[in-house]
Amino acid sequence: MAIKALVFDAYGTLYDVQSVRDLATKLCGAKGELITQLWRLKQLEYSWLRSLMLSYEDFWSVTRESLEFSLTAVGIAPEPLLCERLMNKYLNLDLYPEAIQALEGLRDYKLAILSNGSPAMLDALIESSGLEGRFADVISVDRVKTFKPDPACYGLVEPALGVETSEVLFVSSNGFDVAGAKRHGFQVVRVARVSAAAAPENAEIEPTEFFRLLRGAPENLGHVADWRVSRLTELVRLLDGIRN
């Protein structure tokens, strides 16, 4: 069946979660890089734990909780002003530089976002990055009160866009998200934002290398992407090949 809709993950796929690094380093000095990586890893972990515990709080709360954990873990007091400055960066994360060009080239399809982000977080991101009017829907998992990769999250797409499961091409850079979307039945493209790290020579590695070891390769969950790209602009050529 022909692809009618492209659905994008937001964090790490359209928006660069690593763009908090500069502010974290400015505010926290040499520990900024470590905070950046701990924060993202803990943010994801807390989303999964809250889903498993049936104890949903929206992604803004999860992001704040994981930030406070990360600051405390590296010996920095999670003072309200510090947390607020870092949290506000999540409302205007950097858009990946090729994203607008890619979306422009895909205008013939229904375009949507499916994200863990709360509605308020996603609205702020869309506005700050100038993407208003680009999407048929910006779908937050808040509608089902759980987080990806819970199947209920992916099940929001078809009724929202009026398409069949097989007509959706799901685009994500996150391995857990790729696995969840593929298990749901979507056709899936993995955006290899973070390349897999080479095996380290020893255990003395930097925070960024640790993050790449953990998140740079596809997850070993039995559900793999149909295609792999390195940049969003490659999607146009990929879709031309699928149609032909």
Give CATH 3.40.50.1000 domain extents, the chain: 5-16+93-243
Architecture of domain 17-89: Orthogonal Bundle (1.10)
pLDDT of residue 196: 61
pLDDT of residue 220: 86
pLDDT of residue 70: 97
Residue numbers annotated as active site? 9
Whether 170 and 223 have beta carbons less than 8 Å apart is answered as no
pLDDT of residue 117: 98
What is the DSSP code (8-state) at residue 119?
Answer: H
- Distance, C-alpha 9 to centroid of its chain: 5
CATH of domain 5-16+93-243: 3.40.50.1000
Counting as low any pLDDT under 50, the low residues of the chain are none
pLDDT of residue 194: 66
pLDDT of residue 212: 76
pTM comes to 0.93
pLDDT of residue 209: 79
Specify burial of residue 97 (Cβ count, 10 A radius: 0-12, 13-18, 19+): exposed
pLDDT of residue 200: 74
pLDDT of residue 110: 97
Give CATH 1.10.150.240 domain extents, the chain: 17-89
Output the CA–CA distances (angstroms, integers) from residue 35 to 66, 81, 92, 95, 200, in the order listed. 10, 16, 18, 21, 21
pLDDT of residue 197: 61
